[in-house]
Amino acid sequence: MNRKVIFLLLLNVVVGVLIVVSSHSWFTVWVGLELNTLSILCLLCYDFSPRNVESTVKYFLVQAFSAGIILNVALIQLRLYSSWSISNPLSYFGSVMLTLAISLKLGLFPCHFWFPDVIQGVGFLQGLLLSTWQKVAPFVILINVHSSINSFILISLGSVSVLIGGWGGLNQVQMRKIMAFSSISHIGWVCSVLSVSISTSCVMFIIYIILSSAMFLVNNEVNLYNLSILGRLVYYNPWVSILLILVVLSLGGLPPLTGFLSKFLALSCLLNSNLIFFSIILIFGSLLNLFFYLRIGFNSVLCLFPQHSMMLFTWRSVLVFGGKSSWSSMLLGILLSSSIFGLLSFPMFVSFI
């Protein structure tokens, strides 16, 4: 694909999200979502392999169905208030349907089934787009209508999503599926806190984007497609393996890393609102997540497996943090530094609350 075409598609993806963020009308929200979806479909099937095409078709069907639900909710609002304004309160039926549509776009329970399959069928960079940037627009819509959505339903869906994300990633050996279930779990944390504190939820979402981006870029740099390759990583580049385990432990929420800050702020808000039961569910789900995060760290640097010299041959063509610098290596360095030094970045994130 021509570079100019790729740049135009990426620009449309960004513009579509910006239209949703700056919109005060349901119709322009729908237009922004459709522009974003149609532009990213070409990026998902960039390699045009059968697996890429399958994932692209699945993503298109899910996004088209959720966008259709949002348009129907907008038409209901137009019938009730004779206005396209988002500020109008939602009816009970409209709030339930909109929650379903946003759950489909974010990958929340019970609409999470499509997300791991789609992430597994695309590359790491496309998975990075789906896991981070593509969740900005639904998250902004959820913020705009949070006062009209039942908070109990939202917290319940978020808590169950954390359990599903932890339980689903236990037996996975593919890194992309592990990252997909990790995304489901982290988005569950974000949505659980949204009904209690919008500012804390936004901070958690920013931290999630930083950590997930760092993990996807590390995997893309060294082609970590499954856990069996992790045993060879320490022989090839020990520094990358150390950085990988730090990012993984940060995703798991181990203090004093950055991932611990989001969970600490979330639990503080939930306990201050006397939501003790949901806090226990979220902690239990995080322990499940921490299990497969520790398994990644154990396989990458904490245990040295016996390796034959011929097994390292495929790593000779891989350059990680070597000679020449690129935009990906510079971005990766920034993300790694912000995801590791949690205590240093704590005042910056707390200032947003």
What does the pLDDT read at residue 292? Answer: 80
Strand pairing partners for 25? 85
Model confidence at 353, pLDDT cuts 50, 70, 90, reads low
**What is the C-alpha to C-alpha distance for residues 145 and 9, in angstroms, rounded to an integer?**
29
Q: Read off the pLDDT of residues 96-105 as tens digits, 9 standing for 90 and up.
A: 888 889 999 8
Residue 341 DSSP label: -
Q: Read off the pLDDT of residues 237-271 as tens digits, 9 standing for 90 and up.
A: 677 777 777 788 888 777 777 778 788 888 888 88
Does pLDDT of 343 surpass 50? yes
What does the pLDDT read at residue 308? Answer: 47
Tokens of 177: 């599926």
Asked if 119 and 180 touch (Cβ cutoff 8 Å), the reply is: yes
- Give the side-chain half-sphere CA count within 13 A for 221: 26
Tokens of 236: 């090839």
Does pLDDT of 77 surpass 70? yes
**What is the C-alpha to C-alpha distance for residues 103 and 99, in angstroms, rounded to an integer?**
6
What does the pLDDT read at residue 197? Answer: 84
Domain ranges of the chain: 1-149, 162-353
Model confidence at 316, pLDDT cuts 50, 70, 90, reads very low
Please calculate the CA angle 221-342-139 and round it to the nearest 5 degrees: 75
Q: Read off the pLDDT of residues 319-335 as tens digits, 9 standing for 90 and up.
A: 444 444 455 555 665 66
What does the pLDDT read at residue 322? Answer: 46
Q: Read off the pLDDT of residues 191-219 as tens digits, 9 standing for 90 and up.
A: 889 888 888 888 889 888 888 888 888 88
SS3 85: strand
Q: What does the mean pLDDT of the chain come to?
A: 80
**What is the C-alpha to C-alpha distance for residues 161 and 170, in angstroms, rounded to an integer?**
14
SS3 48: coil
What does the pLDDT read at residue 313? Answer: 41
Q: Read off the pLDDT of residues 111-166 as tens digits, 9 standing for 90 and up.
A: 888 898 899 888 888 888 888 888 999 999 998 888 888 888 888 898 999 999 88
Does pLDDT of 349 surpass 70? no
Q: Read off the pLDDT of residues 24-49 as tens digits, 9 standing for 90 and up.
A: 888 899 989 988 888 888 888 877 78
What does the pLDDT read at residue 346? Answer: 57
Q: Read off the pLDDT of residues 57-72 as tens digits, 9 standing for 90 and up.
A: 899 999 989 988 999 9
What does the pLDDT read at residue 318? Answer: 45
Q: Read off the pLDDT of residues 271-305 as tens digits, 9 standing for 90 and up.
A: 888 888 888 888 888 888 888 888 777 766 655 55
